[in-house]
């Protein structure tokens, strides 16, 4: 299930809860539920493929959220982290899997003990497909795989991944550009 659907369902559940609490006369108690619902609906619309406004959360180039974003989108960020942890637990998915020496593919390491050994650089693209897409490109760039399809197979031997048509199209275009750059040299 995509992030838009997941946040949309959560937003609707929080809205229904807030309406029910309001009808029960618990107006003050319903406010956090209503606020969370509004924030989740905003993120749902902003993250939909047709709109695609990832910058709305204000995440900087090192992957951190500024204070204003934490305050404004705190309910969503909490929901997203909770969703990721529950999803990982339900799928019995490891936090990361070693793809090749020094290269790991996984999700957000929410505890220090979840980090791979050594001093790794973490590339968290939030989504299984995007992260796998980046790792495919890395495997090709390092010369471990001849092309992105071979890289995809290397990853699939170690971890379940799901790349969509856009990820594959991006890798195909990147591969063509890479080949043309090699010819120019």
Q: CB burial class (10 A; 0-12, 13-18, 19+) of residue 105?
A: buried
Residue 147 has pLDDT above 60, yes or no: yes
Confirm if 70 and 77 have CB atoms less than 8 A apart. Answer: yes
pLDDT, averaged across the chain: 86
Nearest Cα to 137, choosing from 113, 160, 108, 103? 103
Q: What is the pLDDT of residue 126?
A: 61
10 or 2: whose pLDDT is higher? 10
17 neighbors 61 (Cβ within 8 angstroms) = no
Q: By the 8 A CB rule, do 116 and 98 touch?
A: yes
What pLDDT, on the 0 to 100 scale, is given for residue 151? Answer: 96
pLDDT confidence of 122, banded at 50, 70, 90? low
Phi first, then psi, for residue 97 (nearest 5°) are: -130, 140
By CB neighbour count within 10 A (0-12 exposed, 13-18 middle, 19+ buried), where does 107 fall?
buried
Q: Which two tokens stand for residue 111?
A: 């505890």
pLDDT at 124: 62
Q: What pLDDT is stored for residue 66 in this prediction?
A: 93
Q: What are the pLDDT digits (tens) for 16-36?
A: 999 999 999 999 999 999 999
| DSSP state for residue 1 in the 8-state scheme | -
| pLDDT (average), residues 154-159 | 93
Environment class of residue 74 by beta-carbon count within 10 Å: exposed (0-12), middle (13-18) or buried (19+)?
A: middle
């Amino acid at each position: 299930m995509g992030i838009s659907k997941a946040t949309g369902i959560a937003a609707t559940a929080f809205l229904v809860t807030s309406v029910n609490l309001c009808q029960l006369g618990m107006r003050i108690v319903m406010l956090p539920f209503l606020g969370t619902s509004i924030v989740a609906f905003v993120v749902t619309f902003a993250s939909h493929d047709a709109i695609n406004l990832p910058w709305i959360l204000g995440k900087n180039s090192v992957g951190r959220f500024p204070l204003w974003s934490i305050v404004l989108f705190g309910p969503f960020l909490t929901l997203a982290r909770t969703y990721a942890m529950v999803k990982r637990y339900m799928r019995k998915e490891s936090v990361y899997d070693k793809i090749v020496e020094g290269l790991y593919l996984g999700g957000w390491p929410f505890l220090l003990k979840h980090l791979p050994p050594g001093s790794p650089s973490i590339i968290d693209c939030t989504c299984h497909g995007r992260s796998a897409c980046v790792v495919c490109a890395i495997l090709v760039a390092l010369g471990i795989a001849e092309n992105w399809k071979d890289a995809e197979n290397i990853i699939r031997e170690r971890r379940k991944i799901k790349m969509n048509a856009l990820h594959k199209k991006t890798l195909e275009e990147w591969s063509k550009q890479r080949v043309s750059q090699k010819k120019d040299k």
